[in-house]
A and B are shown apart, each in its own frame.
Chain A
C-alpha cells in the first residue's frame, strides 16, 4: 500500500471529520446548556440533507446556497421543538427525556421513509468530480468546500458565544442556571435559542454532507450514534472537543475502511468511545464535572 493513498485517505478523513464535528457541535452545545441529550440529532441531520436535496432537485439550488433557507428553517424548528416539546421535560429524569426524543426520532425517520421511500437520494454538481492537486496528494473539491463551510459555521458559532450579548447570556445559563435566573435572564427563551442554534449546526452540516454521501432515511440513527461518539470522545459540552472528536472519528473511520473493511469502521469508533469513557470520562477536552 502506497503512502500517497494513506495520506489521501487521512486528508479525506480530516475533511469529513470537520463536517462531523459541526454536527456534533450542535449536540454538544444543546447538552452543554439545556442539559438534554438530543437523541433525535442524526434524524434532524437527515431531514436537513433531504431538504437540501429537494431544493437542489426543484430549483437547481447549489447546496451551499440551499443551506441558508434550510438553516433559517431549522433554527425556527429547533426553537419551537425546545419551547413547545422539550421544555416541560428539562426537570424530568434522564430516561424520560430520552424516551421523548426517541419518539421524536422515530416519527422523523419514518416520516422521511413515508415521503421519500427507502431509496438513496443525492445531488450532482460539477465540482464533485474535480479535485485540487498538490503533488501526489488530491483534495476533492466538494470535500474541501464542505469542510470549509463547516469551519466557517464553527467560527461563527465561536464568535457568537464569545462576543454577542445573547451568546454570553447563554453561557451564563450553562454555568449557573440559578444564578442566571436570579440575574433576570429568561432561561426558557435562552434554552429555545440554544436549541435553535444547535439545529443550525445540524442544518449546515447536513447541507455539506449531501456533497459527500447519498442520503437515506436509515442514516438518521447512524448519525445520532456517531454524534454521541464524537462528543463523548471530545468532551460533552466542550466546543473545541466536538471538532477534535469529529476529526478523530473521521480519520479513524477512513483508516479502518482502508486497512480492515468498510463494515468495521464504526467498530473502531465505538472502541474509541469505550476507551475514552473509561480512561477519561469527561472526554479529551472536557472539564471534570
Chain B
C-alpha cells in the first residue's frame, strides 16, 4: 500500500467513526446498511473473488447464522455472544458439506453456482416447515429496550449497531488484506486462474478451496447473527431467498470482484443509488410499484456493461492508489 492510499484509508476511517455525531438517525441506518453489505460482500469475495468459486447461495449462511443465534435467544434467552459460535459452527458445517460434495465430485463453474442455489432454496423451503423456528410465520426476538446499551444481549440504540458493523467491516478488511498477502491468498488466486496449473505446482486444491469456503461461511454467519439482532424478525421466505444472495454479491461485483475495496465501494454506491432513486421518485410523485427496481436494474445493467471489472479498479487508477 502506498502512502496516499494509507492517508485516504485513514481519512475514511475517521469520517466513519465521526459519522454518528453529525448524521441524523435516517442517515445512520443507511450507513449501517452499507456497512452490512460491505462486510457480507467481503465475506462472499473470499470465496469468489479470491478462490474463484461462484456461490449464488450465500443467503444460506446468513439464514442459518441468524436462525441459530436467534433460536438460542428466543427459546433459551441465551445471548448472541454464545449464539455466535453455534451460528459459525453450523454455517461452516453446511459450507463444508456443500464444498466437500462439490469439490470431490468435480462440480465447478455454473454447476457449482446452481448447486449453491439448490442448497439455499432447499433450506428455505425446509425452514418453512420447521415449526420450532416459527415456520413461514416467522420468529420474533423480544425487543426489551432501545435506549441503553446492553452489550451482553446486543440490545441498544442504533448507534451501537452502527459501531458494531463498522468494527466488523474494518476487521473483515484487515483479515482479507492479510489473507491476500499470505500463502492462502497466492494459492487461492492460482486456483481461481487455472486449477490444473495450480495443482501441478503442488497445491492441494481441494484443501485450499475448503479453507476458502470455511472462512467465507464463518464470516457470513456473523452477518446473520447481526441481522437477527438488528431486525429482530426472521422469515425463511425473506432471509433464504435467492434475492438475498444476489444482494450480497451485487456490491463486490459492481465494486470489483477480487479487490479489497470493491465490496465496500460497491455496497456504498448501490445502497445510495437505491435510496436516491426512491427519493427522486417520491419527489416526482411516481410511486408505482416496481418502477424503482426497473431504474435500479437499468443502472446495474449499464454498470456491468461499461465497467466489467467494477468501479474500484477504474477509480483506483484515477486516484493513484494500489488496487
Q: Give the B-binding residues of A (Cβ under 8 A).
A: 37, 85, 88, 92, 94-96, 98-100, 102-107, 109-114, 117-118, 217, 221, 225, 228-229, 232, 236, 261, 263-264, 266-267, 270-271, 273-274, 277-278, 281
The residue that A225 contacts in the complex, of B117, B298, B301, with Cβ under 8 A, is B117
Complex CA distance for A111 and B305, rounded to whole angstroms = 20
Contact residues in A for B129 (Cβ distance below 8 Å): 261, 263-264
Query: B48, B117, B292: which has the most chain A beta carbons within 10 Å?
Result: B117
Contact residues in A for B167 (Cβ distance below 8 Å): none
Nearest to A100 among chain B residues (CB) is B304
Inter-subunit contact B113/A232 (CB<8 Å) = no
Q: Is B111 an interface residue (CB 8 A)?
A: yes
Contact residues in A for B136 (Cβ distance below 8 Å): 263
Known: A110-B293, A263-B128, A278-B101. A271 touches B301 (CB 8 A): no
Inter-subunit contact B304/A277 (CB<8 Å) = no
For the complex with contacts A110-B292, A113-B290, 18 further pairs of A-B residues with Cβ separation under 8 Å are A88-B305, A92-B308, A94-B109, A94-B113, A96-B253, A98-B56, A103-B297, A107-B297, A107-B298, A109-B290, A228-B114, A232-B111, A232-B114, A267-B126, A274-B119, A278-B105, A278-B107, A281-B111
The residue that A270 contacts in the complex, of B113, B125, B246, with Cβ under 8 A, is B125
Known: A99-B304, A103-B301, A106-B293. A273 touches B118 (CB 8 A): yes
- Give the Cβ gap from B222 to chain A, nearest Cβ, in Å: 24
Contact residues in A for B293 (Cβ distance below 8 Å): 106-107, 109-110, 113
- Give the Cβ gap from A101 to chain B, nearest Cβ, in Å: 10
Q: Is B81 an interface residue (CB 8 A)?
A: no
Known: A228-B117, A277-B107. A114 touches B242 (CB 8 A): no
Q: List 7 A-B contacts (CB under 8 A).
A: A94-B54, A99-B304, A114-B288, A114-B290, A228-B117, A267-B125, A278-B107
- Give the Cβ gap from A225 to chain B, nearest Cβ, in Å: 7
The residue that B289 contacts in the complex, of A98, A118, A264, with Cβ under 8 A, is A118
Q: Is B10 an interface residue (CB 8 A)?
A: no
Known: A106-B293, A113-B290. A229 touches B118 (CB 8 A): yes
Q: Is B1 an interface residue (CB 8 A)?
A: no
Contact residues in A for B105 (Cβ distance below 8 Å): 277-278, 281
Contact residues in B for A85 (Cβ distance below 8 Å): 305
Contact residues in A for B249 (Cβ distance below 8 Å): 95, 99
Inter-subunit contact B290/A263 (CB<8 Å) = no
Inter-subunit contact B297/A112 (CB<8 Å) = no
Complex CA distance for A236 and B110, rounded to whole angstroms = 10
Interface size range on B against A = 35 or more
Known: A106-B297, A277-B107, A281-B105. A99 touches B253 (CB 8 A): yes
Nearest to A260 among chain B residues (CB) is B129
Inter-subunit contact B115/A274 (CB<8 Å) = yes
Q: Is B121 an interface residue (CB 8 A)?
A: yes
A-B CB proximity, top 4 nearest:
A113-B290, A106-B297, A110-B293, A107-B297
Contact residues in A for B121 (Cβ distance below 8 Å): 225, 266, 270
Query: A85, A88, A94, A236: which has the most chain B beta carbons within 10 Å?
Result: A94
- Chain B 73-111 per-residue mask, 1 if CB under 8 angstroms from chain A, else 0: 000000000000000000000000000010001110111
- Give the Cβ gap from A23 to chain B, nearest Cβ, in Å: 16
The residue that B291 contacts in the complex, of A94, A110, A118, with Cβ under 8 A, is A110
Contact residues in B for A217 (Cβ distance below 8 Å): 290
Q: Is B267 an interface residue (CB 8 A)?
A: no
Contact residues in B for A221 (Cβ distance below 8 Å): 242-243
Known: A106-B300, A232-B114, A271-B122. A95 touches B291 (CB 8 A): no
Complex CA distance for A98 and B57, rounded to whole angstroms = 14
Query: B54, B122, B126, B242: which has the most chain A beta carbons within 10 Å?
Result: B122
- Taking CB atoms and an 8 Å cut-off, the chain B residues in 212-233 that contact chain A are none
The residue that B257 contacts in the complex, of A95, A228, A266, with Cβ under 8 A, is A95
